[in-house]
Structure 1
Amino acid sequence: MSKIVIFASGSGSNAENIILHFNKKNLVNVFEVFTNNPNAKVLERAKNLNVPSQVFNRQELNEGIVLERLNKIQPDLIVLAGFLWKFPEHIIKAYPNKVINIHPALLPNYGGKGMYGMNVHQAVLENKEKETGITIHYVNEHYDEGEFIFQKSVNIEDCKSAEEIADKIHVLEYQYFPEVIEKLLTRNS
Protein backbone atom coordinates (compact mmCIF):
# COMPACT_ATOMS: atom_id res chain seq x y z
CA MET A 1 0.00 0.00 0.00
CA SER A 2 1.35 3.42 -0.99
CA LYS A 3 2.01 5.98 1.74
CA ILE A 4 1.52 9.71 1.45
CA VAL A 5 2.01 12.58 3.84
CA ILE A 6 0.21 15.89 3.55
CA PHE A 7 1.58 19.32 4.42
CA ALA A 8 -1.01 22.04 5.10
CA SER A 9 -1.05 25.40 6.87
CA GLY A 10 -4.71 26.29 7.20
CA SER A 11 -8.21 24.89 7.12
CA GLY A 12 -7.22 21.60 5.56
CA SER A 13 -10.28 21.11 3.35
CA ASN A 14 -8.13 19.66 0.57
CA ALA A 15 -6.29 17.44 3.05
CA GLU A 16 -9.60 16.17 4.42
CA ASN A 17 -10.91 15.52 0.92
CA ILE A 18 -7.77 13.52 0.03
CA ILE A 19 -7.97 11.48 3.23
CA LEU A 20 -11.66 10.69 2.66
CA HIS A 21 -10.98 9.74 -0.97
CA PHE A 22 -8.30 7.24 -0.04
CA ASN A 23 -10.14 5.90 3.02
CA LYS A 24 -12.91 4.75 0.63
CA LYS A 25 -10.49 3.08 -1.76
CA ASN A 26 -8.16 1.45 0.76
CA LEU A 27 -5.29 1.83 -1.74
CA VAL A 28 -3.28 4.55 -0.08
CA ASN A 29 -2.38 5.19 3.52
CA VAL A 30 -2.43 8.88 4.40
CA PHE A 31 0.24 8.31 7.00
CA GLU A 32 0.50 11.73 8.61
CA VAL A 33 -0.43 15.39 8.29
CA PHE A 34 2.32 17.95 8.90
CA THR A 35 1.61 21.59 9.65
CA ASN A 36 3.56 24.70 10.53
CA ASN A 37 0.52 26.23 12.22
CA PRO A 38 -0.41 24.97 15.72
CA ASN A 39 -3.86 26.58 15.30
CA ALA A 40 -4.59 25.17 11.84
CA LYS A 41 -8.01 23.60 11.39
CA VAL A 42 -6.29 20.78 9.47
CA LEU A 43 -5.21 19.38 12.87
CA GLU A 44 -8.83 18.94 13.94
CA ARG A 45 -9.77 17.44 10.57
CA ALA A 46 -6.87 14.95 10.75
CA LYS A 47 -7.77 13.98 14.32
CA ASN A 48 -11.42 13.41 13.36
CA LEU A 49 -10.26 11.07 10.57
CA ASN A 50 -7.75 9.23 12.80
CA VAL A 51 -4.71 10.48 10.90
CA PRO A 52 -1.72 11.40 13.06
CA SER A 53 -0.44 14.94 12.77
CA GLN A 54 2.71 16.79 13.60
CA VAL A 55 3.30 20.50 14.19
CA PHE A 56 6.73 21.88 13.41
CA ASN A 57 8.42 25.27 13.32
CA ARG A 58 10.64 26.85 10.66
CA GLN A 59 13.84 25.75 12.41
CA GLU A 60 12.68 22.11 12.55
CA LEU A 61 11.76 22.26 8.87
CA ASN A 62 15.01 23.86 7.73
CA GLU A 63 17.42 21.98 10.00
CA GLY A 64 16.39 18.47 9.05
CA ILE A 65 14.10 17.38 11.88
CA VAL A 66 11.11 17.16 9.52
CA LEU A 67 13.26 15.32 6.97
CA GLU A 68 14.26 12.79 9.65
CA ARG A 69 10.57 12.12 10.35
CA LEU A 70 9.86 11.77 6.62
CA ASN A 71 12.76 9.33 6.25
CA LYS A 72 11.23 7.15 8.98
CA ILE A 73 7.90 7.13 7.10
CA GLN A 74 9.40 6.73 3.60
CA PRO A 75 6.39 8.26 1.82
CA ASP A 76 5.73 7.46 -1.82
CA LEU A 77 4.45 11.02 -2.26
CA ILE A 78 4.58 14.27 -0.29
CA VAL A 79 1.48 16.35 -0.98
CA LEU A 80 1.40 20.10 -0.32
CA ALA A 81 -2.26 21.04 0.11
CA GLY A 82 -2.36 24.67 1.15
CA PHE A 83 1.12 24.69 2.67
CA LEU A 84 2.27 28.31 2.70
CA TRP A 85 5.98 28.13 3.41
CA LYS A 86 8.62 27.63 0.75
CA PHE A 87 9.47 23.94 0.78
CA PRO A 88 13.12 23.32 1.66
CA GLU A 89 15.50 22.19 -1.05
CA HIS A 90 17.02 19.42 1.11
CA ILE A 91 13.63 17.64 1.28
CA ILE A 92 12.99 18.15 -2.44
CA LYS A 93 16.41 16.61 -3.19
CA ALA A 94 15.78 13.70 -0.80
CA TYR A 95 12.45 12.97 -2.54
CA PRO A 96 12.95 13.84 -6.23
CA ASN A 97 9.69 13.93 -8.20
CA LYS A 98 7.81 12.93 -5.06
CA VAL A 99 6.77 16.38 -3.79
CA ILE A 100 3.68 17.87 -5.42
CA ASN A 101 1.64 21.02 -4.85
CA ILE A 102 -1.74 22.33 -5.92
CA HIS A 103 -2.04 25.99 -6.92
CA PRO A 104 -5.41 27.77 -7.27
CA ALA A 105 -4.68 29.33 -10.68
CA LEU A 106 -3.45 28.42 -14.13
CA LEU A 107 0.29 28.75 -13.70
CA PRO A 108 2.51 30.42 -14.73
CA ASN A 109 -0.08 33.17 -14.13
CA TYR A 110 -0.75 34.26 -10.56
CA GLY A 111 2.10 32.27 -9.03
CA GLY A 112 5.03 33.14 -6.82
CA LYS A 113 5.61 34.35 -3.31
CA GLY A 114 2.47 35.70 -1.65
CA MET A 115 0.19 34.28 -4.33
CA TYR A 116 -2.01 31.83 -2.46
CA GLY A 117 -5.68 31.43 -1.59
CA MET A 118 -7.74 34.59 -1.65
CA ASN A 119 -4.75 36.66 -2.80
CA VAL A 120 -4.83 34.71 -6.07
CA HIS A 121 -8.60 34.91 -6.47
CA GLN A 122 -8.63 38.66 -5.80
CA ALA A 123 -5.89 39.24 -8.40
CA VAL A 124 -7.79 37.12 -10.95
CA LEU A 125 -10.96 39.14 -10.25
CA GLU A 126 -9.20 42.51 -10.47
CA ASN A 127 -7.65 41.55 -13.82
CA LYS A 128 -11.12 40.66 -15.14
CA GLU A 129 -10.03 37.19 -16.26
CA LYS A 130 -12.62 35.12 -18.12
CA GLU A 131 -11.21 31.86 -16.78
CA THR A 132 -8.95 30.52 -14.09
CA GLY A 133 -8.31 27.07 -12.74
CA ILE A 134 -5.95 24.79 -10.86
CA THR A 135 -2.43 23.60 -11.49
CA ILE A 136 -0.93 20.51 -9.88
CA HIS A 137 2.85 20.53 -10.22
CA TYR A 138 6.05 19.07 -8.91
CA VAL A 139 7.77 21.26 -6.33
CA ASN A 140 11.21 22.66 -7.06
CA GLU A 141 13.36 25.29 -5.35
CA HIS A 142 11.20 28.18 -6.66
CA TYR A 143 7.62 29.08 -5.77
CA ASP A 144 5.15 27.59 -8.26
CA GLU A 145 7.72 26.88 -10.98
CA GLY A 146 7.97 23.07 -10.92
CA GLU A 147 6.98 20.90 -13.86
CA PHE A 148 3.23 20.84 -14.46
CA ILE A 149 1.43 17.55 -13.88
CA PHE A 150 -2.17 18.67 -14.49
CA GLN A 151 -4.21 21.79 -15.21
CA LYS A 152 -7.96 22.31 -15.39
CA SER A 153 -9.72 25.56 -16.20
CA VAL A 154 -13.13 26.93 -15.34
CA ASN A 155 -15.10 29.86 -16.73
CA ILE A 156 -15.54 32.67 -14.19
CA GLU A 157 -17.26 35.34 -16.29
CA ASP A 158 -20.30 35.08 -13.98
CA CYS A 159 -18.25 35.60 -10.78
CA LYS A 160 -18.67 38.94 -9.03
CA SER A 161 -16.34 38.31 -6.07
CA ALA A 162 -13.14 36.54 -5.11
CA GLU A 163 -15.25 34.26 -2.90
CA GLU A 164 -17.31 33.11 -5.90
CA ILE A 165 -14.08 32.34 -7.76
CA ALA A 166 -12.76 30.44 -4.72
CA ASP A 167 -15.94 28.32 -4.67
CA LYS A 168 -15.40 27.29 -8.30
CA ILE A 169 -11.73 26.52 -7.65
CA HIS A 170 -12.61 24.34 -4.63
CA VAL A 171 -14.88 22.23 -6.84
CA LEU A 172 -11.97 21.58 -9.20
CA GLU A 173 -9.52 20.90 -6.35
CA TYR A 174 -11.81 18.42 -4.63
CA GLN A 175 -12.53 16.55 -7.85
CA TYR A 176 -9.10 16.41 -9.44
CA PHE A 177 -6.42 16.53 -6.72
CA PRO A 178 -7.16 13.03 -5.29
CA GLU A 179 -7.47 11.61 -8.82
CA VAL A 180 -4.08 13.02 -9.88
CA ILE A 181 -2.45 11.72 -6.68
CA GLU A 182 -3.91 8.28 -7.34
CA LYS A 183 -2.65 8.28 -10.96
CA LEU A 184 0.84 9.34 -9.87
CA LEU A 185 1.01 6.59 -7.26
CA THR A 186 -0.28 3.96 -9.71
CA ARG A 187 2.23 5.05 -12.34
CA ASN A 188 5.12 4.94 -9.86
CA SER A 189 4.27 1.58 -8.27
Structure 2
Amino acid sequence: MKRIALFASGSGSNAEKIAEYFTNNDEVKVSLILSNNPKAGVIDRARRLHIPVLLFDRHTFYQTDEITELLQNQQIDLIVLAGFLWLLPPSLVKAFERRIINIHPALLPKFGGKGMYGHFVHEAVVAGGETESGITIHYVNEKYDEGDVIFQAKCVVEPTDTPEDVAKKIQVLEHQHFPKVIADLLLNP
Protein backbone atom coordinates (compact mmCIF):
# COMPACT_ATOMS: atom_id res chain seq x y z
CA MET A 1 0.00 0.00 0.00
CA LYS A 2 1.41 3.37 -1.08
CA ARG A 3 0.79 6.15 1.43
CA ILE A 4 0.23 9.84 0.62
CA ALA A 5 0.50 12.81 2.96
CA LEU A 6 -1.23 15.97 1.74
CA PHE A 7 -0.20 19.47 2.83
CA ALA A 8 -2.84 22.20 2.41
CA SER A 9 -3.36 25.73 3.75
CA GLY A 10 -6.71 26.65 2.23
CA SER A 11 -10.11 25.32 1.22
CA GLY A 12 -8.77 21.92 0.22
CA SER A 13 -10.69 21.24 -2.98
CA ASN A 14 -7.65 19.56 -4.55
CA ALA A 15 -6.99 17.55 -1.39
CA GLU A 16 -10.61 16.37 -1.43
CA LYS A 17 -10.47 15.38 -5.12
CA ILE A 18 -7.25 13.43 -4.50
CA ALA A 19 -8.68 11.64 -1.47
CA GLU A 20 -11.89 10.79 -3.33
CA TYR A 21 -9.90 9.47 -6.30
CA PHE A 22 -8.15 6.94 -4.07
CA THR A 23 -11.12 6.08 -1.80
CA ASN A 24 -11.69 2.59 -3.23
CA ASN A 25 -8.10 1.95 -4.29
CA ASP A 26 -6.34 -1.00 -2.65
CA GLU A 27 -2.91 0.22 -3.72
CA VAL A 28 -2.90 3.90 -2.66
CA LYS A 29 -4.23 5.67 0.42
CA VAL A 30 -4.28 9.26 1.64
CA SER A 31 -2.98 8.62 5.15
CA LEU A 32 -2.73 12.12 6.56
CA ILE A 33 -3.52 15.75 5.84
CA LEU A 34 -1.23 18.38 7.35
CA SER A 35 -2.00 22.08 7.64
CA ASN A 36 -0.43 25.21 9.05
CA ASN A 37 -3.82 26.97 9.14
CA PRO A 38 -6.24 26.04 11.95
CA LYS A 39 -9.07 27.79 10.04
CA ALA A 40 -8.41 26.04 6.70
CA GLY A 41 -11.42 24.53 4.95
CA VAL A 42 -9.35 21.42 4.25
CA ILE A 43 -9.78 20.42 7.91
CA ASP A 44 -13.56 20.02 7.53
CA ARG A 45 -13.10 18.16 4.25
CA ALA A 46 -10.61 15.78 5.89
CA ARG A 47 -13.01 15.06 8.75
CA ARG A 48 -15.82 14.27 6.29
CA LEU A 49 -13.45 11.88 4.50
CA HIS A 50 -12.24 10.34 7.80
CA ILE A 51 -8.61 11.30 7.16
CA PRO A 52 -6.47 12.25 10.17
CA VAL A 53 -5.35 15.88 10.31
CA LEU A 54 -2.20 17.29 11.86
CA LEU A 55 -1.96 21.02 12.53
CA PHE A 56 1.45 22.55 13.05
CA ASP A 57 2.97 25.96 13.61
CA ARG A 58 5.92 27.78 12.08
CA HIS A 59 8.27 26.89 14.95
CA THR A 60 7.55 23.16 14.72
CA PHE A 61 7.90 23.20 10.94
CA TYR A 62 11.13 25.17 10.64
CA GLN A 63 12.93 24.73 13.98
CA THR A 64 12.40 21.00 14.59
CA ASP A 65 12.40 17.77 12.61
CA GLU A 66 9.07 16.64 14.11
CA ILE A 67 7.17 16.76 10.80
CA THR A 68 9.91 14.94 8.87
CA GLU A 69 10.17 12.25 11.55
CA LEU A 70 6.39 11.81 11.69
CA LEU A 71 6.19 11.36 7.91
CA GLN A 72 9.05 8.86 7.98
CA ASN A 73 7.44 6.94 10.86
CA GLN A 74 4.15 6.88 8.93
CA GLN A 75 6.07 5.38 5.98
CA ILE A 76 4.81 8.06 3.61
CA ASP A 77 5.69 7.32 -0.01
CA LEU A 78 4.68 10.66 -1.52
CA ILE A 79 4.10 14.14 -0.10
CA VAL A 80 1.64 16.21 -2.13
CA LEU A 81 1.37 19.97 -1.73
CA ALA A 82 -2.19 20.91 -2.59
CA GLY A 83 -2.46 24.62 -1.92
CA PHE A 84 0.28 24.77 0.70
CA LEU A 85 1.99 28.16 0.75
CA TRP A 86 5.09 27.78 2.92
CA LEU A 87 8.50 26.94 1.52
CA LEU A 88 9.53 23.49 2.75
CA PRO A 89 12.51 23.23 5.09
CA PRO A 90 15.64 21.80 3.43
CA SER A 91 15.71 18.85 5.86
CA LEU A 92 12.24 17.73 4.74
CA VAL A 93 13.10 18.17 1.05
CA LYS A 94 16.27 16.13 1.52
CA ALA A 95 14.55 13.35 3.48
CA PHE A 96 11.90 12.96 0.75
CA GLU A 97 13.95 13.87 -2.31
CA ARG A 98 11.89 13.48 -5.51
CA ARG A 99 9.02 12.25 -3.37
CA ILE A 100 7.40 15.68 -2.87
CA ILE A 101 5.26 17.23 -5.58
CA ASN A 102 3.34 20.46 -5.94
CA ILE A 103 0.73 21.84 -8.29
CA HIS A 104 1.07 25.40 -9.56
CA PRO A 105 -1.79 27.30 -11.26
CA ALA A 106 0.26 28.47 -14.26
CA LEU A 107 2.60 27.16 -16.92
CA LEU A 108 5.96 27.35 -15.18
CA PRO A 109 8.43 28.90 -15.47
CA LYS A 110 6.02 31.77 -16.14
CA PHE A 111 4.24 33.27 -13.13
CA GLY A 112 6.10 31.28 -10.48
CA GLY A 113 8.07 32.16 -7.39
CA LYS A 114 7.44 33.65 -3.97
CA GLY A 115 4.07 35.35 -3.69
CA MET A 116 2.76 33.84 -6.92
CA TYR A 117 -0.18 31.71 -5.88
CA GLY A 118 -3.94 31.62 -6.37
CA HIS A 119 -5.54 34.85 -7.55
CA PHE A 120 -2.15 36.61 -7.78
CA VAL A 121 -1.19 34.23 -10.58
CA HIS A 122 -4.48 34.63 -12.44
CA GLU A 123 -4.33 38.43 -12.15
CA ALA A 124 -0.79 38.40 -13.57
CA VAL A 125 -1.83 36.12 -16.44
CA VAL A 126 -4.70 38.45 -17.42
CA ALA A 127 -2.63 41.62 -16.92
CA GLY A 128 0.12 40.12 -19.06
CA GLY A 129 -2.26 39.55 -21.96
CA GLU A 130 -1.50 35.83 -22.04
CA THR A 131 -3.45 33.73 -24.55
CA GLU A 132 -3.04 30.54 -22.53
CA SER A 133 -2.49 29.41 -18.99
CA GLY A 134 -2.65 26.06 -17.27
CA ILE A 135 -1.26 23.92 -14.49
CA THR A 136 2.19 22.62 -13.73
CA ILE A 137 2.79 19.61 -11.50
CA HIS A 138 6.41 19.56 -10.43
CA TYR A 139 8.85 18.08 -7.96
CA VAL A 140 9.62 20.28 -4.96
CA ASN A 141 13.10 21.52 -4.17
CA GLU A 142 14.38 24.23 -1.81
CA LYS A 143 13.03 27.08 -3.98
CA TYR A 144 9.52 28.14 -4.91
CA ASP A 145 8.32 26.57 -8.17
CA GLU A 146 11.75 25.60 -9.50
CA GLY A 147 11.63 21.79 -9.25
CA ASP A 148 11.59 19.57 -12.35
CA VAL A 149 8.30 19.62 -14.25
CA ILE A 150 6.35 16.35 -14.23
CA PHE A 151 3.23 17.39 -16.15
CA GLN A 152 1.55 20.44 -17.67
CA ALA A 153 -1.95 20.98 -19.06
CA LYS A 154 -3.11 24.12 -20.87
CA CYS A 155 -6.27 26.14 -21.30
CA VAL A 156 -7.11 29.09 -23.52
CA VAL A 157 -7.29 32.55 -21.98
CA GLU A 158 -9.76 34.66 -23.93
CA PRO A 159 -9.22 38.44 -24.23
CA THR A 160 -12.45 38.93 -22.25
CA ASP A 161 -11.51 36.54 -19.41
CA THR A 162 -11.25 37.95 -15.91
CA PRO A 163 -8.91 36.47 -13.30
CA GLU A 164 -11.96 34.69 -11.88
CA ASP A 165 -12.67 33.12 -15.28
CA VAL A 166 -9.09 31.91 -15.51
CA ALA A 167 -9.29 30.53 -11.95
CA LYS A 168 -12.33 28.42 -12.88
CA LYS A 169 -10.57 26.98 -15.93
CA ILE A 170 -7.47 26.19 -13.88
CA GLN A 171 -9.47 24.44 -11.15
CA VAL A 172 -11.05 22.16 -13.76
CA LEU A 173 -7.58 21.19 -14.98
CA GLU A 174 -6.34 20.64 -11.41
CA HIS A 175 -9.20 18.35 -10.47
CA GLN A 176 -8.99 16.48 -13.77
CA HIS A 177 -5.24 15.83 -13.81
CA PHE A 178 -3.70 16.02 -10.32
CA PRO A 179 -5.05 12.71 -8.96
CA LYS A 180 -4.14 10.86 -12.17
CA VAL A 181 -0.57 12.17 -12.15
CA ILE A 182 -0.21 11.13 -8.50
CA ALA A 183 -1.49 7.64 -9.29
CA ASP A 184 0.92 7.35 -12.21
CA LEU A 185 3.89 8.44 -10.10
CA LEU A 186 3.07 5.94 -7.36
CA LEU A 187 1.96 2.97 -9.44
CA ASN A 188 4.09 3.33 -12.59
CA PRO A 189 7.44 4.71 -11.40
- TM-score tier by shorter-chain length is over 0.9
5+ residue gaps, structure 1: none
Structure 1 distance, partners of 2:95, 2:138, is: 17
Indicate the residue corresponding to 1:184 in structure 2: 185
For 2:59, the equivalent position in structure 1 comes to 59
Judge conservation of contact 1:140–1:146 (CA < 8 Å) in 2: yes
1:132 alignment counterpart: 133
Partner SS, residue 135 of structure 1: strand
- Secondary structure of the 2:123 match is helix
| Structure 2 counterpart of 1:7 | 7
CA contact (8 A) 1:2 1:185 kept: yes
Moved over 3 A (4+): none
Tell me the residue number matched to 2:82: 81
Q: Which residue does 2:21 correspond to in 1? A: 21
Unpaired stretches in structure 2, ≥5 consecutive residues: none
Mapping for residues 110-189 of structure 1, pairs under 5 Å:
110-157=111-158, 159-188=160-189
| 1:116-148 residue CA offsets vs partner (Å, 9 max, x unmatched) | 000000100111110000000000011000000
Give the TM-score normalised by the residue count of structure 1. Answer: 0.97
Sequence identity percentage: 51
Residue identity in the other structure for 1:127: G
Q: CA RMSD in A?
A: 1.0
Tell whether 2:129 aligns with 1:91.
Answer: no
Q: Which amino acid aligns with 1:22?
A: F
How many residues are matched?
188
